[in-house]
Structure 1
């Protein structure tokens, strides 16, 4: 169940709080292939299942690290629903550390904590501590801090 936030004032109420964990999302080979095509990153470790099975230390193809990062807004929106919004802008990624590869058909989920919210003349600057968990693994795929800018229709509501 996601948290619904409709204004800068409401967002400020969650500052410093763990906001939750998204549902699991399965990383499929089709998704990996589409990401490779979109980014022109055709490294065999992502695409060649037979070679990955025999030559890779992971025993299977792995998701591009940036594919897992690109899932951040989608998974974040499973935790928090922002309403009354003109637009959301991806602003910053800081301290991102890849800890473990995500093999094909793994299920991942995002854990998020809202660190700070700043009011930039009606635009909310939200810094969020994130960890991408892999089902069955104690070590997250990555950890870091992301920042979104929220342009609310009516920030004072």
Structure 2
């Protein structure tokens, strides 16, 4: 039996279970400002904390939704290691992303992953679909939920 087939069988047993919870990471104003500079999205609700506190409904500066989403790779790095025989993992995309709650500057976030589906993609690849929830410490409503697809590539 190939390494991919073994990984597929092992993964099938985990469908519907939580397969990882990441470490917390702080999203501070400096991170938000760097993201704004990189993406050229300098809207005041992100980069002007005083104005955001006075004029926005959020009570302060908030992280970009795409900054929050971009931390998915960091959270996955905390949660997943290479499976036996796996050469690499490739981000395949998202089926669904929903931004549920703004992330205030200074908030701590972490990712939770629940395996939803796995399937073979040829003889040396396995597609994994995880429901990813990015939580905000101390908040009941998560920052976002997403159905994330990853492709695990194995030795032939």
Q: Residue 3 of structure 1 corresponds to which residue in structure 2?
A: none
Give TM-score, length-normalised by structure 2: 0.87
Q: Per-residue deviation at 1:16?
A: 2.7
Contact 2:132 2:145 in 1 (8 A): yes
How many residues matched?
149
Q: Distance in 1 between matches of 2:76 and 2:31?
A: 19
Q: Per-residue deviation at 1:10?
A: 4.1
Q: Distance in 1 between matches of 2:120 and 2:65?
A: 32
Q: Which runs of 5+ in 1 are unaligned?
A: 1-5
Comparing 87-96 with 52-61, greater Cα deviation is found at 87-96
Contact 1:130 1:143 in 2 (8 A): yes
Q: Per-residue deviation at 1:9?
A: 4.7
Q: Distance in 2 between matches of 1:30 and 1:124?
A: 38
Give the counterpart of 2:132 among 130, 133, 145: 130
Q: Deviations over 1:57-112 (max 9, x none)?
A: 11111110001111111101212222444332211212211110000010011111
Work out whether 1:93 is the aligned partner of 2:107.
no
Contact 1:7 1:152 in 2 (8 A): no
Comparing 13-22 with 47-56, greater Cα deviation is found at 13-22
Q: Distance in 2 between matches of 1:7 and 1:17?
A: 16
In structure 2, relative to structure 1, the CA distance for the partners of 1:85 and 1:32 (3 Å cut) is farther
Q: Per-residue deviation at 1:8?
A: 4.5
User: Secondary structure, in 3 states, of the residue corresponding to 1:75?
Assistant: helix
Aligned CA-pair RMSD: 1.8
Q: Distance in 1 between matches of 2:62 and 2:29?
A: 9
Moved over 3 A (4+): 6-13
